[in-house]
């Protein structure tokens, strides 16, 4: 394994295609935003108030990413 590959593996211990996890953050390419937004925007699951507020925040964030990418 090259030094570059070892460095990447240290920085991103979990990698699946273009999805990465650095031990603290999930790294998802912005082009996934619209697909994830479609999945969560019409969710009909029951949520408690706090979870619902988090879901709304996440949906708004994804919506802003999609709008930014479509400029």
For residue range 54-68, list pLDDT tens digits in order. 888 998 999 999 999
Question: CA–CA separation, 8 vs 22, rounded Å?
Answer: 10
Question: For the whole model, what pTM was predicted?
Answer: 0.67
Question: What ranges do the domains of the chain cover?
Answer: 3-69
Q: Are 41 and 34 in contact (CB under 8 A)?
A: no
With H, G, I as helix, E, B as strand and everything else as coil, classify residue 17: coil
- Tell me what pLDDT residue 5 has: 53
What are 3-56's pLDDT values in tens digits?
Answer: 555 455 567 778 888 888 888 888 999 999 999 998 887 777 788 888 888 888
pLDDT of residue 64: 93
């Amino acid at each position: 394994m090259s030094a570059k590959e070892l460095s990447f593996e240290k920085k991103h211990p979990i990698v699946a295609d273009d999805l990465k996890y650095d031990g603290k953050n999930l790294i998802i390419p912005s082009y996934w935003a619209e697909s994830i937004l479609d999945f969560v925007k019409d969710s009909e699951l029951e949520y408690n108030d706090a979870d619902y507020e988090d879901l709304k925040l996440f949906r708004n964030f994804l919506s802003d990413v999609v709008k930014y990418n479509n400029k």
